[in-house]
Amino acid sequence: MQLVLQNLSKTYANGVRALDNVSLTIPTGMYGLLGQNGAGKSTLMRTLATLQDADSGTAFLGDLDVLNQKEAVRRTLGYLPQEFGVYPRISATELLDHFALLKGVVNGRERTQLVEALLHRVNLFEHRKKAVSSYSGGMKQRFGIAQALIGDPQLIIVDEPTAGLDPGERNRFYNLLSEIGENVIVILSTHIVQDVMELCNNMAIIHQGRVLYGGTPSAAVASLSGKVWGKSITKAELPTYQQTHTIISSKLVGGKPQIHVLSEADPGDGFEAVVPDLEDVFFSEIQTGVARR
């Protein structure tokens, strides 16, 4: 099963072009959609989740026409939105039971078994009687995954799921997602490079509604090999380096800016070769992608 998007475009009424000819082939497994805030990720996720329409283009999940066969898509879709909305003061068991009923699991005994199995799966069984509104951020996200798994979906969409989670919760969430992503398509939309690095075997970088890269994280990193150089500089020097070099990132290390620049040849001047990582790819794609426009 593959999800194939071709030339998806969307311009909002205020003139913002949130999707600009997006074409991607998304195979089974964990797929990372990496982009900064405002890149167009949620617009794409909501479109694939049948919650809003594109202006043009196509999206096919196998033979299923995602943009036009909405009911059929919803039956095979699990969606964890960026904002899950207000959590009522009812227990996890009751709320999950309610979602399962909405998803068409009408047999009471079957539903009870399903709800218990899901609560075990996301490690919330011992907290099943607590109100979901009292859960921590990480527990809420795991509950969100439990509801997304109802009905054995072939396509699971999770929009910015790790924003705001502490490192321990983030790890627990990673483990859960990586187990799920083996046999179905899981699209993970995120602005956190580490999410994609740790979880995804395929990815795209999206910026200002455009796909700047589509492929494996390792090929993306390999393409920068020998081209990234680093140097520790003073804050006062930064504007000069911005004029003379293609700076892809500037981070404070021990209070001093550590810059990474993109260069085919050794820039000399005290720069040292850096082994590139996915963050370098992300920033360099954005830099060069903007320059190409």
Ligand X SMILES: Nc1ncnc2c1ncn2[C@@H]1O[C@H](COP(=O)(O)OP(=O)(O)OP(=O)(O)O)[C@@H](O)[C@H]1O
The binding site for ligand X (CB under 6 A) comprises 12, 14, 16, 18, 35, 37-43, 160
Q: Closest approach of Cβ 204 to ligand X, in Å?
A: 12
Nearer to ligand X, 42 or 284 (CB): 42
- Distance CA(70)–CA(62), nearest Å, equals 14
* Cβ at position 145, least distance to ligand X in Å: 19
Whether residue 81 contacts residue 52, with contact meaning beta carbons closer than 8 Å, is answered with no
12 vs 113, which CB is nearer to ligand X?
12
CB of 25 to ligand X, least distance (A): 20
Q: 15 φ, ψ to 5°? A: 95, -5
Which residue's CB comes closest to ligand X?
42
> Of 14 and 243, which CB lies nearer to ligand X in the complex structure?
14
- Which residues are paired to 229 by β-bridges? 261, 273
State the minimum distance, in angstroms, from the CB of residue 241 to ligand X. Answer: 29
The residue (of 160 and 285) whose beta carbon lies closer to ligand X is 160
| 185's tokens | 């398509």
What's the DSSP call for residue 217?
A: H
Residue 274 has which token pair?
């850096």
Nearer to ligand X, 18 or 59 (CB): 18
Residue 167: Cβ-neighbour burial (10 angstroms; 0-12, 13-18, 19+): exposed
Please report how close the Cβ of residue 22 comes to ligand X at its closest, in angstroms: 11
At 204, list the tokens.
């795209």
